Amino acid sequence: MSISYYFCTVKYYLSLKKRFFREWHQRMADLKTGSAVATVYDSLKKAIFLRTLRPGMQLTEKTLSESLNVGRSPIRRALQELANDGFVRLIPNKGAYVISYTKEAMIQLYAIKNELEIYAISLTIDQYTGEDIAFLENCLALQLSTFSERNLSGYLDAIIQFNCYIVDKAENIYLSEIYRSMMNKLAVCLALYDNFYVTPGKRLASFKNHEKIILSLRDGKGKKAAKLINELSAQAINSSEYAISLSGTF
């Protein structure tokens, strides 16, 4: 083996080693950044659900970097993810703000919600089985337990499961897709404005309404279920308006 070949071989393996460690460090950095993004995302989302961050509040990178002890790059990525999920509004040359809704926007969302649910019920009112009713009752039980635990995120998930099940019963993928898109926006709205925290120790009136909806579906009374859905939405808008007035953002 010639000396030149030997040195070329050594140089080649050293370059491979250098490349390996460079890629390894990059992967570790990516993991660390990803972990930091998740930390920022979870912290801000939790603060929104706990109403520590109010609708319309500005989220500055400098303040977040100092309070969470992370760099600005993970903060930007976390804010973008929160914006993608509907919790934050990014305004060019101004910054990031917790999303806010007007009463009119809430009315429009609930109007769409009602029409889609009532349409789904009109297609399926004679198809509800004992299994369907049991699932809806379990969703209601989950609402009750998460409300008792003061777990707003779990409470909203239970509501979404309840409503989506009714719409998915129609087995129309386009209807379900449109409904979920709207429901995601409404869930953010409820996270910001629902009266979940302003009635401590009390059973929300919506529980009784959901119980009546289940009974209407069980008994095949589609018109009654539609009436209850409209009443529930009006109740939610009124109670949310009260929460909005308390937060001072409306």
pLDDT in tens, 206-230: 889 999 999 999 999 999 999 999 9
Residue 123 sits in the same domain as residue 223: yes
Q: Which of 250, 220, 226 is nearest to 114 (CA)?
A: 226
Q: What three-state secondary structure class fits 202?
A: coil
The CATH number linked to 13 is 1.10.10.10
The answer to whether residue 23 scores a pLDDT higher than 50 is no
Among candidate residues 38, 67, 98, the one where a domain is terminated? 98
Residue 115 sits in the same domain as residue 225: yes
Distance, in Å, from the CA atom of 210 to the CA atom of 158, rounded to the nearest integer, reads 12
Residue 16 sits in the same domain as residue 52: yes
| Under 8 Å between Cβ of 40 and 68 | yes
Among candidate residues 62, 83, 98, the one where a domain is terminated? 98
The answer to whether residue 31 scores a pLDDT higher than 60 is no
| Under 8 Å between Cβ of 196 and 152 | yes
What pLDDT was estimated at residue 28?
38
Domain enclosing residue 81, as ranges: 3-98
Distance, in Å, from the CA atom of 87 to the CA atom of 164, rounded to the nearest integer, reads 21
% of residues, the chain, pLDDT over 70: 80
What pLDDT was estimated at residue 172?
96
pLDDT in tens, 37-87: 888 999 999 999 988 999 999 999 889 988 888 888 899 999 999 999 999
Residue 60 sits in the same domain as residue 108: no
Distance, in Å, from the CA atom of 6 to the CA atom of 2, rounded to the nearest integer, reads 6
What is the pLDDT of the chain when averaged over all its residues? 84
Residue 41 sits in the same domain as residue 130: no
Q: State how many domains the chain has.
A: 2
Confidence band, pLDDT 50/70/90 cuts, at residue 5:
very low
Residue 110 sits in the same domain as residue 68: no
One DSSP character per residue, 87-118 reads SEEEETTTEEEE----HHHHHHHHHHHHHHHH
The answer to whether residue 188 scores a pLDDT higher than 50 is yes
Residue 154 sits in the same domain as residue 175: yes
What pLDDT was estimated at residue 26?
42
The answer to whether residue 174 scores a pLDDT higher than 90 is yes
31 class by beta-carbon count within 10 Å (0-12 exposed, 13-18 middle, 19+ buried): exposed
Q: What three-state secondary structure class fits 174?
A: helix
Residue 213 sits in the same domain as residue 110: yes
What pLDDT was estimated at residue 113?
96
Residue 152 sits in the same domain as residue 205: yes
Residues 6 or more apart whose Cβ sits within 8 Å of residue 117: 163, 166, 167, 179, 229
Residue 29 sits in the same domain as residue 135: no
What pLDDT was estimated at residue 214?
97
Among candidate residues 48, 78, 98, the one where a domain is terminated? 98
Residue 211 sits in the same domain as residue 128: yes
The answer to whether residue 88 scores a pLDDT higher than 50 is yes
The answer to whether residue 32 scores a pLDDT higher than 50 is no
Residue 33 sits in the same domain as residue 50: yes
User: Who wins on pLDDT, 210 or 202?
Assistant: 210
Confidence band, pLDDT 50/70/90 cuts, at residue 232:
very high
Confidence band, pLDDT 50/70/90 cuts, at residue 119:
very high
The CATH number linked to 207 is 1.20.120.530
